[in-house]
Amino acid sequence: MKKTTTLLADGRELIYYDSADAVVRDSVDQRPLERVATTSEIRHDRLLGDTVAIASHRQGRTYHPPADQCPLCPSRPGRPSEIPAADYEVAVFENRFPSLAGTRGRCEVVCFTSDHDASFAGLTPAGARLVLDAWTDRTRELSQLPGVVQVYPFENRGEEIGVTLGHPHGQIYAYPFTTPRTDRMLRSLTAHRGRTGRNLFDDVLADEIADGSRIVLTGDHWTAFVPYAAHWPYEVHLYPNRRVPDLLGLDEDARAEFPHLYLELLRRFDRIFGEGQPPTPYVSGWHQAPFTGDGLTVPGFPAPDRRDFALHLELFTIRRTSGKLKFLAGSESGMSAFVNDVPPESAALRLREVASS
Protein backbone atom coordinates (compact mmCIF):
# COMPACT_ATOMS: atom_id res chain seq x y z
CA MET A 1 0.00 0.00 0.00
CA LYS A 2 1.24 3.49 -0.90
CA LYS A 3 0.06 6.45 1.16
CA THR A 4 0.18 10.01 -0.20
CA THR A 5 -0.77 12.93 2.06
CA THR A 6 -1.62 16.41 0.79
CA LEU A 7 -3.81 19.39 1.73
CA LEU A 8 -7.03 20.71 0.25
CA ALA A 9 -7.38 24.39 -0.56
CA ASP A 10 -8.79 25.24 2.87
CA GLY A 11 -6.06 23.38 4.76
CA ARG A 12 -7.89 20.13 5.42
CA GLU A 13 -5.87 16.94 5.12
CA LEU A 14 -6.39 14.54 2.19
CA ILE A 15 -4.79 11.09 2.02
CA TYR A 16 -4.71 8.79 -1.01
CA TYR A 17 -4.25 5.03 -0.54
CA ASP A 18 -3.03 3.13 -3.59
CA SER A 19 -2.25 -0.53 -4.16
CA ALA A 20 0.76 0.23 -6.39
CA ASP A 21 3.89 2.06 -5.26
CA ALA A 22 4.40 3.60 -8.70
CA VAL A 23 1.28 5.77 -8.51
CA VAL A 24 2.05 9.50 -8.30
CA ARG A 25 -0.48 11.83 -6.65
CA ASP A 26 0.41 15.46 -7.44
CA SER A 27 -2.98 17.04 -8.25
CA VAL A 28 -3.58 20.34 -6.47
CA ASP A 29 -6.93 21.60 -5.17
CA GLN A 30 -7.51 24.86 -7.06
CA ARG A 31 -10.85 25.77 -5.48
CA PRO A 32 -11.11 29.19 -3.80
CA LEU A 33 -12.08 27.79 -0.42
CA GLU A 34 -11.98 29.64 2.86
CA ARG A 35 -10.94 27.93 6.09
CA VAL A 36 -13.74 25.86 7.59
CA ALA A 37 -15.40 27.49 10.61
CA THR A 38 -16.92 24.99 13.02
CA THR A 39 -19.04 25.38 16.13
CA SER A 40 -18.59 21.91 17.58
CA GLU A 41 -19.16 21.75 21.35
CA ILE A 42 -19.08 18.78 23.72
CA ARG A 43 -21.69 18.75 26.48
CA HIS A 44 -22.14 16.29 29.33
CA ASP A 45 -25.61 15.04 30.27
CA ARG A 46 -25.63 14.99 34.05
CA LEU A 47 -28.71 12.75 34.27
CA LEU A 48 -27.59 10.03 31.86
CA GLY A 49 -23.86 10.47 32.30
CA ASP A 50 -23.22 10.48 28.55
CA THR A 51 -21.86 13.05 26.12
CA VAL A 52 -23.50 14.98 23.28
CA ALA A 53 -21.78 16.86 20.45
CA ILE A 54 -23.51 20.13 19.49
CA ALA A 55 -22.59 21.02 15.89
CA SER A 56 -24.94 23.63 14.43
CA HIS A 57 -22.67 24.29 11.43
CA ARG A 58 -23.71 20.89 10.03
CA GLN A 59 -27.11 22.34 9.08
CA GLY A 60 -25.45 23.69 5.92
CA ARG A 61 -23.83 20.45 4.76
CA THR A 62 -24.25 19.13 1.22
CA TYR A 63 -27.61 17.37 0.83
CA HIS A 64 -28.40 14.91 -2.00
CA PRO A 65 -26.60 16.72 -4.85
CA PRO A 66 -27.10 15.54 -8.45
CA ALA A 67 -24.67 12.78 -9.46
CA ASP A 68 -22.76 15.16 -11.74
CA GLN A 69 -22.11 17.44 -8.75
CA CYS A 70 -21.04 14.75 -6.28
CA PRO A 71 -18.23 16.11 -4.06
CA LEU A 72 -16.75 12.62 -3.61
CA CYS A 73 -16.21 11.84 -7.29
CA PRO A 74 -12.82 12.61 -8.87
CA SER A 75 -12.39 16.17 -10.14
CA ARG A 76 -13.10 16.89 -13.80
CA PRO A 77 -12.29 19.96 -15.92
CA GLY A 78 -14.72 22.65 -14.82
CA ARG A 79 -16.09 20.51 -11.98
CA PRO A 80 -13.69 20.37 -9.04
CA SER A 81 -14.56 18.17 -6.07
CA GLU A 82 -13.13 17.24 -2.69
CA ILE A 83 -10.78 14.87 -4.55
CA PRO A 84 -8.44 16.85 -6.87
CA ALA A 85 -7.20 13.72 -8.68
CA ALA A 86 -8.80 12.53 -11.91
CA ASP A 87 -9.08 9.02 -10.43
CA TYR A 88 -8.33 7.25 -7.15
CA GLU A 89 -8.62 3.92 -5.36
CA VAL A 90 -9.28 4.92 -1.72
CA ALA A 91 -9.23 8.51 -0.48
CA VAL A 92 -9.65 9.90 3.04
CA PHE A 93 -10.09 13.55 3.96
CA GLU A 94 -11.15 15.71 6.87
CA ASN A 95 -14.90 16.30 6.83
CA ARG A 96 -15.83 19.83 5.80
CA PHE A 97 -18.85 19.64 8.13
CA PRO A 98 -17.51 17.69 11.11
CA SER A 99 -19.49 16.67 14.18
CA LEU A 100 -16.21 16.77 16.12
CA ALA A 101 -13.40 19.20 15.42
CA GLY A 102 -10.20 20.75 16.77
CA THR A 103 -9.39 19.73 20.32
CA ARG A 104 -12.82 18.09 20.47
CA GLY A 105 -11.96 15.21 18.16
CA ARG A 106 -11.89 14.76 14.40
CA CYS A 107 -14.17 13.46 11.65
CA GLU A 108 -12.94 12.03 8.36
CA VAL A 109 -14.63 10.83 5.17
CA VAL A 110 -13.45 7.56 3.61
CA CYS A 111 -14.20 7.16 -0.11
CA PHE A 112 -14.11 3.43 -0.92
CA THR A 113 -13.86 3.84 -4.69
CA SER A 114 -13.96 6.54 -7.37
CA ASP A 115 -16.97 4.81 -9.01
CA HIS A 116 -20.06 6.79 -8.02
CA ASP A 117 -22.46 3.96 -8.87
CA ALA A 118 -20.59 1.20 -7.03
CA SER A 119 -21.03 -0.10 -3.48
CA PHE A 120 -18.76 -1.67 -0.89
CA ALA A 121 -20.32 -5.04 -1.69
CA GLY A 122 -19.23 -4.57 -5.31
CA LEU A 123 -15.56 -4.11 -4.48
CA THR A 124 -13.04 -6.78 -5.34
CA PRO A 125 -11.31 -8.53 -2.41
CA ALA A 126 -8.21 -6.47 -3.21
CA GLY A 127 -10.27 -3.27 -3.07
CA ALA A 128 -11.83 -4.25 0.25
CA ARG A 129 -8.39 -5.11 1.63
CA LEU A 130 -7.14 -1.65 0.66
CA VAL A 131 -10.02 -0.11 2.61
CA LEU A 132 -9.15 -2.29 5.62
CA ASP A 133 -5.54 -1.10 5.40
CA ALA A 134 -6.75 2.51 5.21
CA TRP A 135 -9.00 2.02 8.29
CA THR A 136 -6.03 0.55 10.13
CA ASP A 137 -3.69 3.36 9.17
CA ARG A 138 -6.21 6.04 10.13
CA THR A 139 -6.82 4.29 13.47
CA ARG A 140 -3.08 4.43 14.13
CA GLU A 141 -2.77 8.10 13.17
CA LEU A 142 -5.93 9.37 14.83
CA SER A 143 -5.26 7.54 18.10
CA GLN A 144 -2.10 9.62 18.45
CA LEU A 145 -3.85 12.99 18.21
CA PRO A 146 -4.05 14.93 21.49
CA GLY A 147 -7.31 14.34 23.28
CA VAL A 148 -8.52 11.43 21.12
CA VAL A 149 -9.86 8.56 23.23
CA GLN A 150 -11.67 6.26 20.78
CA VAL A 151 -11.63 5.70 16.99
CA TYR A 152 -14.74 4.45 15.18
CA PRO A 153 -14.62 3.67 11.42
CA PHE A 154 -18.12 3.12 10.06
CA GLU A 155 -20.35 3.17 6.98
CA ASN A 156 -23.93 4.39 6.71
CA ARG A 157 -25.57 3.04 3.55
CA GLY A 158 -28.95 4.13 2.18
CA GLU A 159 -31.21 7.16 2.35
CA GLU A 160 -33.32 5.37 4.98
CA ILE A 161 -30.29 5.54 7.29
CA GLY A 162 -29.89 9.27 6.62
CA VAL A 163 -27.13 9.21 4.02
CA THR A 164 -26.98 12.51 2.12
CA LEU A 165 -24.33 11.56 -0.47
CA GLY A 166 -24.90 8.58 -2.75
CA HIS A 167 -21.23 7.93 -3.51
CA PRO A 168 -19.92 4.80 -1.69
CA HIS A 169 -18.18 6.14 1.37
CA GLY A 170 -17.89 5.84 5.12
CA GLN A 171 -16.63 7.96 7.97
CA ILE A 172 -14.24 7.80 10.88
CA TYR A 173 -15.00 9.54 14.16
CA ALA A 174 -12.12 10.16 16.55
CA TYR A 175 -13.95 10.84 19.80
CA PRO A 176 -12.50 12.85 22.69
CA PHE A 177 -14.47 10.63 25.06
CA THR A 178 -15.51 7.01 25.48
CA THR A 179 -18.82 6.50 23.69
CA PRO A 180 -21.84 5.42 25.79
CA ARG A 181 -22.07 2.06 24.02
CA THR A 182 -18.43 1.24 24.71
CA ASP A 183 -18.80 2.44 28.30
CA ARG A 184 -21.58 -0.11 28.80
CA MET A 185 -19.45 -2.84 27.24
CA LEU A 186 -16.59 -1.99 29.59
CA ARG A 187 -18.89 -2.17 32.59
CA SER A 188 -20.20 -5.58 31.50
CA LEU A 189 -16.65 -6.76 30.76
CA THR A 190 -15.44 -5.76 34.21
CA ALA A 191 -18.46 -7.19 36.02
CA HIS A 192 -18.16 -10.51 34.16
CA ARG A 193 -14.48 -10.77 35.03
CA GLY A 194 -15.34 -10.16 38.68
CA ARG A 195 -18.03 -12.86 38.70
CA THR A 196 -16.30 -15.56 36.65
CA GLY A 197 -12.64 -14.66 36.26
CA ARG A 198 -13.08 -15.01 32.47
CA ASN A 199 -13.23 -12.61 29.53
CA LEU A 200 -16.77 -11.68 28.49
CA PHE A 201 -16.00 -11.32 24.78
CA ASP A 202 -14.30 -14.72 24.70
CA ASP A 203 -17.30 -16.30 26.41
CA VAL A 204 -19.81 -14.65 24.06
CA LEU A 205 -17.96 -15.92 20.99
CA ALA A 206 -17.46 -19.41 22.46
CA ASP A 207 -21.13 -19.66 23.46
CA GLU A 208 -22.33 -18.64 19.98
CA ILE A 209 -20.04 -21.19 18.33
CA ALA A 210 -21.17 -23.92 20.74
CA ASP A 211 -24.87 -23.13 20.17
CA GLY A 212 -24.53 -22.77 16.42
CA SER A 213 -28.10 -21.66 15.70
CA ARG A 214 -27.15 -18.02 15.18
CA ILE A 215 -23.89 -18.55 13.25
CA VAL A 216 -24.05 -16.92 9.81
CA LEU A 217 -20.66 -17.84 8.34
CA THR A 218 -17.20 -18.78 9.54
CA GLY A 219 -13.63 -18.74 8.30
CA ASP A 220 -10.32 -19.84 9.68
CA HIS A 221 -9.85 -16.48 11.41
CA TRP A 222 -13.32 -14.89 11.71
CA THR A 223 -16.80 -15.81 12.93
CA ALA A 224 -20.03 -13.97 12.05
CA PHE A 225 -23.19 -14.47 14.10
CA VAL A 226 -26.50 -12.86 14.97
CA PRO A 227 -26.27 -11.96 18.68
CA TYR A 228 -28.55 -13.75 21.13
CA ALA A 229 -30.23 -10.49 22.12
CA ALA A 230 -30.08 -8.69 18.77
CA HIS A 231 -31.56 -5.20 18.88
CA TRP A 232 -32.17 -4.88 15.13
CA PRO A 233 -34.21 -7.04 12.71
CA TYR A 234 -31.07 -8.27 10.92
CA GLU A 235 -27.89 -7.71 12.91
CA VAL A 236 -24.56 -9.50 12.54
CA HIS A 237 -21.43 -9.27 14.66
CA LEU A 238 -18.14 -10.26 13.05
CA TYR A 239 -15.33 -11.24 15.45
CA PRO A 240 -11.74 -12.28 14.80
CA ASN A 241 -11.26 -15.69 16.40
CA ARG A 242 -8.14 -14.38 18.15
CA ARG A 243 -9.03 -11.51 20.46
CA VAL A 244 -7.30 -8.20 19.70
CA PRO A 245 -8.27 -4.74 21.00
CA ASP A 246 -8.20 -2.86 17.70
CA LEU A 247 -7.50 -3.04 13.98
CA LEU A 248 -3.79 -2.61 14.63
CA GLY A 249 -3.73 -5.97 16.39
CA LEU A 250 -4.92 -8.06 13.44
CA ASP A 251 -2.30 -10.39 11.99
CA GLU A 252 -1.77 -10.91 8.27
CA ASP A 253 -3.84 -14.10 8.11
CA ALA A 254 -6.88 -12.32 9.57
CA ARG A 255 -6.38 -9.33 7.27
CA ALA A 256 -6.15 -11.56 4.21
CA GLU A 257 -9.35 -13.45 5.04
CA PHE A 258 -11.46 -10.48 6.13
CA PRO A 259 -12.36 -9.11 2.64
CA HIS A 260 -13.85 -12.41 1.49
CA LEU A 261 -16.07 -12.87 4.56
CA TYR A 262 -17.13 -9.24 4.81
CA LEU A 263 -18.02 -8.94 1.12
CA GLU A 264 -20.08 -12.11 1.42
CA LEU A 265 -21.93 -10.66 4.43
CA LEU A 266 -22.76 -7.44 2.58
CA ARG A 267 -23.95 -9.34 -0.49
CA ARG A 268 -26.18 -11.52 1.68
CA PHE A 269 -27.68 -8.39 3.23
CA ASP A 270 -28.70 -7.25 -0.24
CA ARG A 271 -30.44 -10.60 -0.83
CA ILE A 272 -32.35 -10.85 2.47
CA PHE A 273 -35.61 -9.50 1.12
CA GLY A 274 -35.60 -11.22 -2.27
CA GLU A 275 -34.99 -10.30 -5.88
CA GLY A 276 -36.05 -6.90 -7.18
CA GLN A 277 -35.75 -5.18 -3.81
CA PRO A 278 -33.74 -1.96 -3.46
CA PRO A 279 -30.31 -2.23 -1.82
CA THR A 280 -30.58 -2.96 1.89
CA PRO A 281 -29.82 0.09 4.06
CA TYR A 282 -27.34 -0.62 6.82
CA VAL A 283 -24.91 0.68 9.39
CA SER A 284 -21.57 -1.11 9.73
CA GLY A 285 -18.92 -0.09 12.23
CA TRP A 286 -15.75 -1.23 13.97
CA HIS A 287 -15.83 -1.32 17.77
CA GLN A 288 -12.33 -0.80 19.14
CA ALA A 289 -10.93 -0.38 22.64
CA PRO A 290 -10.37 3.18 23.85
CA PHE A 291 -6.76 4.23 23.47
CA THR A 292 -6.23 6.09 26.75
CA GLY A 293 -6.44 5.11 30.39
CA ASP A 294 -9.17 7.69 30.95
CA GLY A 295 -11.26 6.01 28.28
CA LEU A 296 -11.02 2.69 30.08
CA THR A 297 -11.94 4.04 33.50
CA VAL A 298 -15.45 3.10 34.61
CA PRO A 299 -16.51 4.76 37.89
CA GLY A 300 -16.88 2.18 40.64
CA PHE A 301 -14.89 -0.49 38.78
CA PRO A 302 -11.19 -1.26 38.45
CA ALA A 303 -9.93 -0.26 35.00
CA PRO A 304 -9.58 -3.28 32.68
CA ASP A 305 -6.54 -3.74 30.49
CA ARG A 306 -7.45 -2.52 26.98
CA ARG A 307 -6.27 -5.90 25.69
CA ASP A 308 -9.35 -7.38 27.39
CA PHE A 309 -11.55 -5.58 24.86
CA ALA A 310 -12.37 -7.46 21.65
CA LEU A 311 -12.31 -5.72 18.30
CA HIS A 312 -15.44 -6.59 16.36
CA LEU A 313 -17.60 -5.27 13.56
CA GLU A 314 -21.33 -4.73 14.02
CA LEU A 315 -23.53 -4.68 10.91
CA PHE A 316 -27.29 -4.09 11.02
CA THR A 317 -30.22 -2.92 8.91
CA ILE A 318 -33.29 -0.97 9.95
CA ARG A 319 -35.40 -2.78 7.31
CA ARG A 320 -37.48 -5.46 9.05
CA THR A 321 -39.27 -6.86 6.01
CA SER A 322 -39.87 -5.95 2.38
CA GLY A 323 -40.98 -2.32 2.19
CA LYS A 324 -41.07 -1.81 5.97
CA LEU A 325 -38.57 -0.17 8.29
CA LYS A 326 -37.89 -0.64 11.97
CA PHE A 327 -38.68 2.76 13.46
CA LEU A 328 -37.34 3.67 16.88
CA ALA A 329 -40.57 4.75 18.51
CA GLY A 330 -41.58 5.30 22.14
CA SER A 331 -39.90 2.37 23.87
CA GLU A 332 -36.67 2.51 21.87
CA SER A 333 -36.24 6.28 21.48
CA GLY A 334 -37.82 7.28 24.76
CA MET A 335 -36.45 4.59 27.06
CA SER A 336 -33.68 2.81 25.09
CA ALA A 337 -35.63 -0.43 25.58
CA PHE A 338 -35.55 -2.27 22.25
CA VAL A 339 -38.26 -4.53 20.87
CA ASN A 340 -37.11 -6.73 17.97
CA ASP A 341 -39.72 -8.14 15.56
CA VAL A 342 -37.40 -10.76 14.05
CA PRO A 343 -36.13 -13.64 16.25
CA PRO A 344 -32.31 -13.76 16.02
CA GLU A 345 -32.40 -17.46 15.11
CA SER A 346 -34.75 -16.70 12.18
CA ALA A 347 -32.51 -13.85 11.03
CA ALA A 348 -29.45 -16.11 11.10
CA LEU A 349 -31.30 -18.81 9.17
CA ARG A 350 -32.32 -16.33 6.49
CA LEU A 351 -28.75 -15.05 6.19
CA ARG A 352 -27.53 -18.62 5.70
CA GLU A 353 -30.24 -19.27 3.09
CA VAL A 354 -29.06 -16.37 0.90
CA ALA A 355 -25.42 -17.49 0.81
CA SER A 356 -23.61 -17.10 -2.50
CA SER A 357 -23.72 -20.27 -4.55
Q: What positions carry a catalytic annotation? A: 169
- Cα 174 from Cα 187, distance rounded (Å): 21
Region for 207 from its dihedrals, namely left if φ exceeds 0, alpha if ψ lies in -120 to 50, beta otherwise: alpha
- Cα 151 from Cα 288, distance rounded (Å): 7
Contact predicate 104/42, CB 8 Å: yes
Residue 51 dihedral angles phi and psi, to the nearest 5°: -125, 140
| 324-325/319-321 β-pairing | antiparallel
Sheet containing 282-287, strands listed edge to edge, beginning at the edge strand earlier in sequence: 2-7, 13-18, 90-94, 106-111, 169-175, 150-157, 282-287, 312-317, 234-240, 222-225, 215-218
Helix (H) or strand (E) run with residue 157 in it: strand 150-157
Contact predicate 254/222, CB 8 Å: yes
Taken in order 300, 208, 218, 111, the sign of the CA dihedral is negative
- Cα 89 from Cα 233, distance rounded (Å): 33
- Cα 100 from Cα 149, distance rounded (Å): 13
